[in-house]
Amino acid sequence: MASLRYDTSPPLVSELSLATLLGDVTKAGAALARTATVPAEVRDLVRDLPNRLHADAPSNALAGDPYLAENAFAGAARAAAALLDPDERAARRLARLGLEQLRQALRDIVEARPVDEDVPVAQLAAWLESTLGVPQQQVAELVGTSTRTWQRWLTGAQPDPEQGARLRRVARLTLHLRHALTGPGVARWFTRTHPLVQQGVGRPVDVLDEPDGYRLLLVIAAGLRSNQAS
């Protein structure tokens, strides 16, 4: 099964630019929370988003999971569309929603360093095992391998492409879920039936290898994180 892969070229938006943009978007959201209309400085930020996000080359613009990049551009587009609304109060509400979507995506990209594509497998596996805090056998089963193979990954052995993709998917979901659940709770989340997975009879672990299933799990995991933060 093909994975959702990062682009192998360096992102056009540097780490420093990304952190600066995240700060500016966060400030803009706070400004919108205090006003009934869209302030001029927020309008200027929204108009400049295509430039700062390198919208002319979106596939190479942002590091991290493509799902997060898509959410970032979708949020920017929603904010831009809001400025076209003649109702100033409606424009402010819609712009706030769009910028919040962008903020959350940028935040997740910034915080996803432990699971980025260029992180060695041994380092990624050690991070996942430490974060989950469950026996190695349970972690190995979650990523679809044996305990012995898992131990080899921890010492530098390389998984095959499908195993590597599954490992990174579990890690990316864990990155979200750890904000709402304990480590063992995250591990249990993967193996319990979920009402949104396969009409309520499936478990997250059952759809990890399906692109559409993985996207759904990202939405669910990110939603849990957002609810925890609110």
Domain residue ranges in the chain: 15-111, 115-229
For 128, phi then psi, to 5°, come to -65, -45
Rounded Cα gap, residues 145 and 24, in angstroms: 43
pLDDT of 8 reads 47
Asked if residues 32 and 96 have their Cβ atoms less than 8 Å apart, the reply is: yes
Give the pLDDT confidence score for residue 137 in this predicted structure. 96
Q: Which two tokens stand for residue 45?
A: 């930020």
For each of the chain's 230 residues, which pLDDT tens digit applies? Answer: 333 343 346 788 988 899 999 999 999 999 999 999 999 999 999 999 999 999 998 888 887 677 788 899 999 999 999 999 999 999 999 999 999 999 988 988 887 777 777 789 999 999 999 999 999 999 999 999 999 999 999 999 999 999 999 999 999 899 889 989 999 999 999 999 999 999 999 999 999 999 999 999 988 998 887 665 54
pLDDT number for residue 67: 75
Q: What pTM, to 2 d.p., does this model score?
A: 0.63
Nearest to 111 by CA among 64, 177, 169: 64
| pLDDT for the residue numbered 63 | 78
Rounded Cα distance, 97 and 76, in Å: 10
Tokens 């089963």 -> residue: 141
Number of helices and strands (H, E) in the chain?
10, 0
DSSP 160: P
